[in-house]
Structure 1
Amino acid sequence: MFIPCMIGYGQLLIIVFVVILLFGGAKIPELMRGMGRGVREFKDAMNTDYSSENKKPNPADVPGDKPADK
């Protein structure tokens, strides 16, 4: 069975037409805005460095149980 991998202009126009019929012209900008926010949040999460939050503190840097110098 052959499954085409590329979407042509004809198929793209049909998809756009169906989306406009389903959601209406006024709702599409709101949907695209939501998708853009989702993509932006995903990219921000991918670029955030969480390694500094997961590090254990160095015992020499932690104040407390050090013997007093006499």
Structure 2
Amino acid sequence: MQHFAIFTFIGGLGGTEVALILFVILLFFGAKRIPELARGLGRGIREFKDATNEIKDDLEKSVNDKGDKK
């Protein structure tokens, strides 16, 4: 079930197509470069989540402050 959730964004691609795409990525970047790229992608996603959580917290704080003043 978890594997299905991971690949839902791929749509109608089968296992062979996904394997071919991963093989092409391996050819372009090489085995040594892929972990570095994955780390960078992970850092970017983490920073995005932190920023969205910070904005959400600021909005909630603003709404709570307006409610307290009335």
CA distance, structure 1, for counterparts of residue 26 and residue 11 of structure 2: 24
The one-letter code sitting in structure 2 at the alignment partner of 1:30 is E
Counterpart selection for 1:9 from 7, 15, 20? 15
Alignment of 1:12-31 (within 5 A): 12-31=18-37
Where do 5+ consecutive residues of structure 2 fail to align?
1-9, 66-70
TM-score, length of structure 1 as denominator length: 0.62
TM-score, length of structure 2 as denominator length: 0.62
**Offset of residue 38 of structure 1:** 0.5
CA distance, structure 2, for counterparts of residue 42 and residue 21 of structure 1: 29
The structure where helix makes up a greater share of residues is: 2
CA distance, structure 2, for counterparts of residue 7 and residue 44 of structure 1: 32
Q: Radius of gyration: which is bigger? A: 1
**Offset of residue 18 of structure 1:** 0.1
Where do 5+ consecutive residues of structure 1 fail to align?
56-70
